[in-house]
Every structure is written in C-alpha cells, then in structure tokens.
Amino acid sequence: MMLLGLIPLAASVLLALTSGILSRRLSPGVAVALLTLLALATSVATGIVLCLAAFSALARQPLVAAAGGWSRATWRSWDQLPVGWGVLAAAVAAGLLAGACVYLARATRELVRASRACRRLVVGHHKLVITRDERPTAYSVPAGTGAIVVSTGMLRLLSAGERRALLAHEAAHLRHHHASYLMLTQLAAAANPLLRPLARNVRLAVELWADQVAADEVGDRRIVARALARASLAATRDEPSPSVAMAIAETEVSARVRALVGRPRRLYPVAVAAALTLTLASSTTAVALTWATHRQIEIAQLAYMQAQVRAR
Amino acid sequence: MPPEARGRPRGALEREILACLAAAAVPLSPAEVRDELGDGLAYTTVMTTLSRLHAKGAVSRQPAGRGYAYALRGGPDEAQASMTAHRMLKLLDTGSNRAGVLSRFIADLSHQDEQLLNDLLADSARPGTDPP
C-alpha cells in the first residue's frame, strides 16, 4: 500500500528533470506559472506521504496503539512498512518542515529589510533609484511599492534603446510579481530538495519572461540581447566571475541571449500534459493515501472496541 | 497618456528620461533629451514629462538659452538614497540574498558566454544599429 507513496517522490525527480525543457521551450509566462503550481503541489504531496508513512509505521507500536485506542493486529494486516522506515520517514518529514520554516523566516527577514530600505529611498511612481556608482549594477526590489535600482555606471554603458530595454526588464519583474513566483518555488524546494533544479529553472524562466516583456515593449529583441551582453561583459571585466560559473556548460546569460536571438518559442502541449499528469498523479496519491489511512484508523478503532466488549 | 508614449507602461518614459539625464555628463535641454531617446517622441511629450519631474523634485533645471537645461538632482536626499541603495547592493553582493528577494539584471559569465556576447555585439556594431 505504502509503495504508492513513492509516486510523489518519483514525480519530484521527473519534474526536476523536465523543468529545464519546460522553462526553455514554453512561453516563459506559462512556464513560470505552471512550474510554480507543480512545485507547490508536488512538495505538499511529498510531505503528506512522508507523514502518512511515519504514522502508519508508528501506529503499530504498542504505546501509540494504546493511546489512539486502535487494534494493532488490524493495522498490521493492512500495512507492513518496517518501523525503521517509519522512523526515518518521520525524521525526514521533520527535517524538511524545518527547512521550509527556515526559508520562510529568512525570506521574510530579507523582505522586511529591503522594504525598510525602500521606504527610505526617494521613490516616485516612476520607482527608479539611480545610484552614483561607476560599477554597472541593476536590480529590482519587490518590497513595498517596488523599486528599480540602477547605477550611473550601468546607464553610461548603454545606448538609449538599451537603457529602455533594461528599465523595461526590471519593471516587468515588479509588474508581473516575479518575486512571488521565485519565493513560492524556493519554498517548495526547501520543503522538497528534489525540486531544487526546478527552482533554478524557474529563476531562469523569470528572467526570460522579463526579457520578453522588454523585447515586446522596445519592439526589437536584439536591443535587449545587446543590453544584456554589454552589461554582463562590463560586470565581468569589473570582477572576474567565480570558478563555479565556468563549470556550467550553459549559464543563465547565454540561455537568455539564445532565447532572444533564436527562433520564437511555441507551446508544447505534450510536455505540459506530461508535467500536469505527474502532478495530478502525486496529488491524487496523497489524497487517496490520506483517505485510506483515515479509514484504516476507523477500522482498527472499531476492532479495538469490539475486542474490549468481548473481554468483558 | 499622449499618443507618443503609447507602448510604454505607466512611469516608463519618466524612468527613461531620468536614466538619460543620469547617463549624460552635462545638463540637457528637452530637445537634446528627445534626440537622445529617439523612438519618434514628440518634443511636447518630453517637455511635459521633464516639467512634471521638476515639479516633483526629481530633476533640477537651470536657464539655458531660451529655455532650460535639466539635470538629475543631486542633494542630501539623493546622497542618502545612494547610500541606502549601496547598503542594499552589499546585501546582494555578500550572498545574503539567499531567499531571492532581489532580481539582478546580470549573472555570472562563463568563457563561452563571453565569446557569444562579444560575437553578438560585433555583429550588431554596424552603422544605424543604435550604437551606445
């Protein structure tokens, strides 16, 4: 019975593997929304299944059975998951829950800190903060009303068209609530580390999404690609990139440039259907196992009460 | 919204004009800003936006010829904003942004990336392709 519980785990692994294709081939807005949904559903399903496995193994222990008032024998005939595995599942579930809590706390702290900083910045409804700094930097801060922070070094580097592309890219992050998607997928990945590659791919897809919005606004994908190229090269000259980045065959920037100068994307119904099926399967498993376990508790309790009556 | 600003979301033209003034070493007249931005913007659109930015205290202006020349405002507020932004930048740089609160425009590059980007820029470094 509890073998069914492996479905969410398998779905997590498969989702992590397919998320790369989905994030690169689907229209980025669709990819981000879809992957966020799938990550959350799979993560919750995994957590539920782990808890059920832990409960089901521990429910056969004399102390637990006595406290719950159910029959150990009835329970044993239903599920033979070794106690050791149950304890392991409980430990893993507790660890993952703690991981998710740590992530939530950290994200909240950083958001509050950024929000406080934002309030002190002079931000009109244009939301632009220009720092007098020769190093080329640009980023968006989703806290409060949101802010786009760009250094003068970055602005001097770019032509008017490229500046427009950069600003449109950062504004798109704020307008389309990209930070929320990032936080939700990273929360899902904290609660289920198998989904970490998926979270990385969502990060890429979010950048692709903002690039696309910028390209639509400027009306020329090559201008966005040039802005990205110029900014990235200048930043690399400033401080050599860490050796970790060198090891990765295709990094974020090259994927983005390829998406901008390559052919337009199209929807892949088969890939979407496969990912949705995986998630549906793991969610259904979690619900079905929960229901079956609940029913088993009731049966075991009934057996326990009958035994009590017979004993009198 | 004036017809010239169509295709731009709210606040986008203001951002572009501020960025243009920040990139320029000297104060710019509305005509110079319009020429720099290109994109078929009308003089009146640029003029109106500059006046609005001035009214909000985002830019300073000084008489130049028959009109005004505009520059990004530098003052105590601006200096403080710059300092706060620097603090946030530090937050980003030290890797304490692990929860992904800030989105940076650029990421680390590999050698292949550098080659790809240099090729891209060399390709487009032909006349009439919006040079920097």
Cβ-Cβ contacts under 8 Å between A and B: the total is 232
- Among A4-13, A199-208, B76-85, the range scoring the smallest mean pLDDT is B76-85
Check CB contact under 8 Å for B113 and A254: yes
Residue A195, both tokens: 């989904």
- Give the tens place of pLDDT for each residue, A74-123: 877 667 778 888 889 999 999 999 999 999 998 888 888 777 777 766 56
Check CB contact under 8 Å for A133 and B18: no
Q: What is the mean pLDDT of residues A178-195?
A: 93
pLDDT at A271 over 50: yes
Q: How far apart are the first and last CA of chain B?
A: 29
Residue A248: which pLDDT band, with cuts at 50, 70 and 90? very low
Distance between CA A209 and CA A16 in Å, rounded? 20
Residues 246-305 of A with CB under 8 A from B: 246-249, 251-254, 257-258, 261
* CB A70, CB A307: distance < 8 Å: no
A39 exposed, middle or buried (CB, 10 Å; 0-12, 13-18, 19+)?
buried
Interchain CB contact of B132 with A (< 8 Å): yes
Check CB contact under 8 Å for B118 and A233: yes
* CB A89, CB A48: distance < 8 Å: no
Question: What percentage of residues in chain A have a pLDDT greater than 90?
Answer: 39
When CB atoms are compared, the residue of B39, B84, B131 closest to A117 is: B84
Query: What is the rounded average pLDDT for all residues in chain A?
Result: 85
Q: What is the mean pLDDT of residues A225-247?
A: 66
The pLDDT value recorded for residue B18 is 92
- Give the tens place of pLDDT for each residue, A116-173: 777 766 566 778 888 887 888 888 888 777 888 888 889 999 999 999 999 999 999 9
Interchain CB contact of B38 with A (< 8 Å): yes
Residues 195-234 of A with CB under 8 A from B: 203, 206-207, 210, 217, 219, 222-223, 225-226, 228-233
For residue A110, list chain B residues with Cβ-Cβ distance below 8 A: 91, 96-99, 101
pTM of the predicted model as reported, rounded to 2 decimal places: 0.85
The pLDDT value recorded for residue A181 is 93
